[in-house]
């Protein structure tokens, strides 16, 4: 019996080779291209599928399968749409601008959130003087096209203090507050695991309700609840700001599909902000130790149905904090904002924890993974973020023109921390290809890594000793300033648009209006 000769990849028909290439990562595709094989190069250079994947990777986005009709377009049309979308962001040229007014409601608007292309807000009672509890949740699709805004009631019927939604799982988590039958001064706090589309118990959740504990009703005016979801993980942090014993603070992680608490080391929560570096890494500020606590988890047993919006590793995480100096009672305060790059930080965490190291010094991660924003202008500035981009807006004084006085209304500044965006801007700067001064866009500015200088004298705390000298960073970003000025009270950034919030004083009840700059 003759021995068969192994068939090599390049001996296969081009269609099969192409299908194999589509399974590779971007780095592996680059290695294939660098082999210099003409056959591989021809297949890759003529493939719209590969070009589309590469440009999605460069843009840090994935296709939104919920966008009406987009998946039905031919591939070349989707590729062109992606290129146009990225051009509009680079040139601050929204494809559409429209206003969405809040619907009629009885009560007071409380919380608001974004989720992919959705805007959600809650309503509470007028007589809730502490302004913390809500009873109704509304949502609207921000990608209107030619259609009028259609608000829908997402949830009602139970009082709640916080919520989060995750469109890719059709998931809505409501932190509900229910009076205890046997004691009016105490309430039960529970996480309701629902569908975003119908507010019914989620079909993937084994338990529609996760009990979070019993609390005094009077706790809630001073209770901060923070919640986040990634993959199967649901994390809930509670911080009681005043008159609190520290054991009332907690940070708990659940598998929302199985309805069980995931055992972790004792992790009292000493900060209000949580964020996922990835679906396996949770980061939380620790204001007691002047540190960022990172919790690591195993891979999910049930992979996500899809990864839209872009996976957390491609997003930057913005943290804000204050530093004080000069002694108690006469201290000065400076406000700081840093943008953290998750991908390199995850690599550093993996390398350090593999060697048993549980504490990573600032010098070992900060310069490579964190970029600082100008502290001098942050105090009166609104800052929103999504993916690798941030948007900055100063509603009180207006952003200063170069060597000019404060002006109002204010320009918007788009901050792009994407490494490829910075590299592309540097290439254009060298070749003098930036947009003409007479266009609607001010020329982009590459903000090179600079030093963050704390107030004098240097902080006395040993935890802040690394910051006694200027803090260096290796992270640059591109700053794009709009030529038009806007009159917003706040700004929010999504993958598809910039949302300016403002009160419509001419409408009934002075309801809020969303001014949407849609980029696609």
Q: How many residues does the chain have?
A: 520
For residue 380, the model assigns a pLDDT of: 55
Most confident among 10-24, 133-147, 295-309, 311-325 (mean pLDDT): 10-24
Number of CB atoms found within 10 A of residue 387's CB: 20
User: What mean pLDDT is predicted for residues 390-400?
Assistant: 64
Provide the residue ranges of all domains of the chain, joining segments of one domain with +. 310-494
Q: Over 70: is that where the pLDDT of 164 sits? A: yes
> In a 3-state reduction of DSSP, which class is residue 243?
coil
Identify the residue with better confidence: 508 or 42: 42
**288 neighbors 95 (Cβ within 8 angstroms):** no
Q: How far apart are CA 372 and CA 366, in angstroms?
A: 10
pLDDT tens per residue across span 243-299: 554 455 678 889 999 988 887 765 655 665 788 888 888 888 877 777 888 888 876
Q: How far apart are CA 135 and CA 155, in angstroms?
A: 8
Please list the residues that pair with 137 across neighbouring strands: 122, 155
Q: How far apart are CA 301 and CA 296, in angstroms?
A: 15
Beta strands in 231-377 (DSSP E): 233-240, 250-255, 260-261, 275-278, 281-286, 291-296, 317-325, 332-340, 370-372
For residue 151, the model assigns a pLDDT of: 92
Q: Which residues contact 287 (CB under 8 A, 6 or more apart)?
A: 270, 271
**188 neighbors 211 (Cβ within 8 angstroms):** yes
């Amino acid at each position: 019996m003759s021995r068969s000769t192994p068939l090599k990849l390049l001996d296969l028909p081009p269609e099969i080779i192409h299908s194999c290439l589509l399974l590779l990562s971007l780095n592996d595709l680059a290695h294939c291209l660098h082999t210099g094989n003409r056959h591989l190069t021809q297949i890759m250079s003529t493939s719209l599928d590969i070009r589309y994947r590469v440009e999605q990777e460069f843009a840090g986005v994935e296709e939104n399968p919920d966008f009406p009709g987009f998946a039905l377009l031919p591939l070349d049309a989707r590729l062109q749409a992606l290129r146009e979308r990225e051009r509009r962001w680079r040139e601050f040229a929204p494809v559409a601008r429209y206003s969405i007014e809040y619907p009629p409601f009885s009560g007071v608007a409380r919380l608001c959130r974004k989720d992919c292309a959705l805007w959600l807000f809650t309503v509470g009672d007028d007589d809730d003087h502490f302004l913390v509890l809500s009873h109704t949740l509304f949502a609207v699709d921000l990608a209107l096209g030619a259609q009028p805004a259609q608000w829908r009631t997402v949830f009602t019927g139970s009082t709640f203090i916080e919520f989060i939604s995750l469109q890719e799982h059709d998931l809505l988590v409501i932190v509900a507050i229910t009076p205890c039958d046997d004691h009016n001064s105490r309430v039960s706090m529970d996480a309701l695991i629902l569908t975003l589309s119908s507010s019914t118990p989620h079909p993937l959740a084994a338990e529609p309700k996760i009990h979070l504990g019993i609390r005094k009703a009077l706790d809630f005016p001073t209770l901060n609840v923070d919640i986040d979801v990634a993959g199967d993980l649901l994390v809930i942090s509670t911080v009681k700001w005043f008159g609190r014993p520290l054991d009332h603070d907690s940070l708990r992680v659940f598998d929302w599909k199985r309805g069980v608490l995931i055992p972790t080391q004792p992790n009292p929560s000493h900060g209000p902000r949580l964020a996922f570096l990835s679906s396996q890494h949770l980061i939380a500020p620790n204001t007691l130790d002047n540190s960022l606590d990172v919790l690591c988890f195993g891979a999910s047993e049930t992979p996500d149905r899809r990864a839209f919006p872009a996976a957390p590793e491609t997003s930057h995480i913005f943290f804000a904090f204050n530093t004080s100096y000069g002694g108690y009672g006469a201290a000065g305060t400076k406000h700081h904002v840093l943008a953290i790059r998750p991908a390199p930080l995850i690599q550093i965490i993996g390398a350090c924890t593999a060697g048993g190291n549980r504490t990573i010094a600032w010098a070992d991660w900060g310069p490579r993974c964190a970029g600082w924003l100008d502290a001098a202008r942050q105090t009166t500035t609104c800052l929103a973020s999504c993916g690798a981009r941030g948007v900055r807006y100063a509603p009180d004084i207006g952003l200063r023109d170069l060597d000019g006085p404060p002006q109002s209304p204010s320009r918007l500044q788009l901050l792009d921390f994407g490494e490829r965006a910075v590299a592309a801007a540097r290439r254009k700067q060298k070749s003098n290809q930036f947009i003409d001064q007479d266009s609607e866009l001010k020329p982009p500015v590459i903000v090179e890594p600079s030093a963050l200088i704390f107030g004098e004298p240097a902080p006395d705390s040993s935890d802040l000793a690394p910051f006694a000298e200027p803090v260096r960073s290796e992270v640059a970003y591109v700053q794009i300033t709009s030529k038009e000025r806007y009159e917003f009270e706040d700004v929010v950034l999504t993958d598809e648009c910039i949302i300016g919030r403002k009160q419509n004083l001419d409408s009934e009840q002075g309801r809020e209006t969303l001014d949407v700059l849609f980029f696609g």
